[in-house]
A and B are shown apart, each in its own frame.
Chain A
Amino acid sequence: MDILATPTKKTSVLAAGLLLMAVGIVCSIAFGVTNIGWRTIVESFTAFNGSQEHLIIQTARMPRAFIAALVGAGLAVAGAFMQGITRNQLASPSLFGINAGAAFFIVTGAAFFGAGGLTTFATLAFAGAAVTAVLVYVLGSIGNDGLTPLKITLAGAAITAFFSSLSLGVLLTGGQTFDQVLYWFVGSVSGRDMGIFKAAAPYMGTALVGSFLLARHMNVLSLGDDVAVGLGQKTAYIKLAAGVIVVLLAGGAVSMAGPIAFVGIIVPHLVRYLVGIDYRWVIPYCAVYGGNLLLAADIGSRYIAFPKEIPVGVMTAIIGVPFFVYIARKGGRS
């Protein structure tokens, strides 16, 4: 059923994942188009002298590494929650329009209202994620049979197309902000500074802690609403809490990196393959290995068309599409 059958194995592989994350962050800081020696890297932390190389490490590579890890973790956990609540194995922040909605709010804010501050971007992204989440949930629940996996998938696809088109419209009309707006079309973790990480990290950190606490309740909810109510769960509260967590994680991820697709769908599936369906394991695994996947994809994106870098959002799409087809062919089951 699950590859890692015993708690000992599960704990070990989780610890290994954390170690891998540390290694990934170090590699992300150390490797790139500009070749910088280890000694210079260490000195940029211990004896910063403002040189070009020190600046690259401190203002470009370090934020990039942290952003990749946090965005990957956030999107993967958000995907796991969405798949649980909608009982749909294809659910993820990108496919259900949450990323596109958050990006649209940022794009519109930047193009028409001159929004530019980091906190403003984060706020806009959270608002966009929340509006989209409610919209998709309501659209997917209209009708006598309530929320069905098919309807919510269609609603998600429609809303994704809707917000992506609107964003494109803004791009074509808001000429002077072209560069700034383009930035939010394909997800990327490069070119961001530590400020944007610091603006979003508290929200995402809180949401991640919340997601660990909610895991036990998600196990009960996954047995179906009637069974969960029968066991004494207040299912509406649990769903609302999970919704808020999804909005904070996906919104925060988009505010830092734009709409990065496929992390939210690939990682939960791989994790369930490893540890089974107990959310108390699935959530921490998603956080750790989601971060690792995006770190690895981002490091890879620097070398695939060397010396040019491709956005990490393109990398995740290249990895994600075959995987998505595989899940869809299996009938949406993990």
Chain B
Amino acid sequence: MTTIQAQGLTLSYGQKPIFSNLDVVVPPGKITVFIGSNGCGKSTLLRSLARLLKPQEGSILLDGSDIAKLSSKEVARRLAILPQGPAAPEGLTVHQLVKQGRYPYQSWLQQWSREDELLVKKALELTHMNELAGRSVDSLSGGQRQRAWIAMTLAQNTRTILLDEPTTYLDMTHQIEILDLLFELNEQEQRTIVMVLHDINLACRYAHHIVAVKDGQIYAQGKPETVMNEQLIRDVFDMECQMSTDPLFGTPLCIPYGKGRKLELAAAATASSAR
């Protein structure tokens, strides 16, 4: 089982420090979700884990070895990263895109093998992109496009997949579609999934392990049902809320306070029981 962890991570953008001496362990075979307010460093943390950013100090360990000392292709065979809002060049087909996922397995001598072909086919099947394989990526809807990119990372055939805000800019239908797909990949293939999500309630529903990041520190981590509470939301998101339970899934549900139309609660209860 592939494990990934950060040890004593220190990273800054120019003068501005993002993390200092941060430790994180990602549980293998599980879905881990990073949450936190904008600019808290959750994306930076994910990008560091994927070696897209070089830490000033500390290291990322992949199966116990320092990621900086492994060859980049070796890392790419064990860990895939889908950055936020990737852009495919105009005219690139889904099939062409997914084939690029085999890049870390190719060399001057080994250009395209039968295994490459099979894994591309499997990635298209798992993401239900078979029928769209010939379409150009830029002609697809947001959800389909994200599925195409996920298919590319699947073709990489890694035990671990990192995704930076895979549901941002998608409507709710497509958010669920993408998260269901990732959930299935985790259930059926035991892939380790690590992602950044903005929606706290969906994070609680899909994550086995949640990491709440605040000002470059890990505020809390663990199972959503044990770590999520009103105090955490107040401290991490600077927001007042009431914690409840998702009536469909039994997972924590955060209901924010704020302004808005307020119906008489008795009337609302009647209205809902009448349905």
**Chain A residues proximal to chain B, CB less than 8 Å:** 1-2, 213, 216, 219-220, 222-224, 226-227, 229-234, 272, 276-278, 333-334
Contacts and interface: CB of A to CB of B under 8 A. Distances in A.
Contacts of A2: 91
Contact of A223 (B72, B73, B80, B100): B100
Contacts of B86: 223-224, 226-227
Interface in B42-79: 47, 50-52, 71-77
24 contacts: A213-B108, A216-B106, A216-B111, A222-B92, A224-B87, A226-B47, A226-B52, A226-B83, A226-B86, A230-B52, A230-B80, A231-B100, A231-B101, A231-B104, A232-B73, A232-B74, A232-B103, A232-B104, A234-B72, A272-B91, A277-B89, A277-B90, A277-B91, A278-B96
B144 interface: no
A232 B75 contact: yes
A155 to B, nearest CB: 22
A305 B87 CA distance: 48
B97 interface: yes
A118 to B, nearest CB: 35
Contacts of A276: 91
B196 to A, nearest CB: 14
Contacts of B71: 232
A234 B77 CA distance: 15
B136 A222 contact: no
A277 B52 contact: no
B93 interface: yes
A276 B73 CA distance: 27
Nearest first, the 5 closest Cβ-Cβ pairs linking A and B are: A232-B76, A232-B73, A226-B83, A230-B81, A232-B104
Nearest to B101: A231
B156 interface: yes
Q: Among the interface residues A224, A230, A277, which one has the most CB atoms of the partner chain B within 10 A?
A: A230
Nearest to B75: A232
B172 interface: no
Contact of A229 (B72, B91, B106, B153): B72
A220 B71 CA distance: 17
Contacts of B101: 231
Contacts of B108: 213
Interface of B: 47, 50-52, 71-77, 80-83, 86-93, 96-97, 100-101, 103-104, 106, 108, 111, 136, 153, 156
Q: Summarize A's interface: helix, strand, loop or mixed.
A: loop
A234 B71 CA distance: 10
A277 B83 contact: no
A216 B100 CA distance: 9
Contacts of B87: 224
Nearest to A222: B89
Contacts of B96: 219, 278
A227 B83 contact: yes
A259 B252 CA distance: 67
B51 to A, nearest CB: 7
Contacts of B81: 226, 230
Contact of A220 (B47, B52, B100): B100
Given A1-B136, A222-B92, 11 more contacts: A216-B111, A223-B88, A227-B83, A229-B52, A229-B72, A231-B76, A231-B101, A232-B77, A233-B103, A277-B92, A333-B90
Nearest to B77: A232
Nearest to B153: A230
B90 A334 contact: yes
Nearest to B92: A277
Contacts of B93: 1
Q: Among the interface residues B71, B74, B92, B111, which one has the most CB atoms of the partner chain A within 10 A?
A: B92
Contacts of B77: 232
Contacts of B51: 229
B98 to A, nearest CB: 11
A241 to B, nearest CB: 14
Contacts of B75: 232
Contacts of A229: 51-52, 72
Contacts of A224: 83, 86-87
Nearest to B164: A226
B76 to A, nearest CB: 3
A1 B83 contact: no
Contacts of A230: 50, 52, 76, 80-83, 153
A219 B100 contact: yes
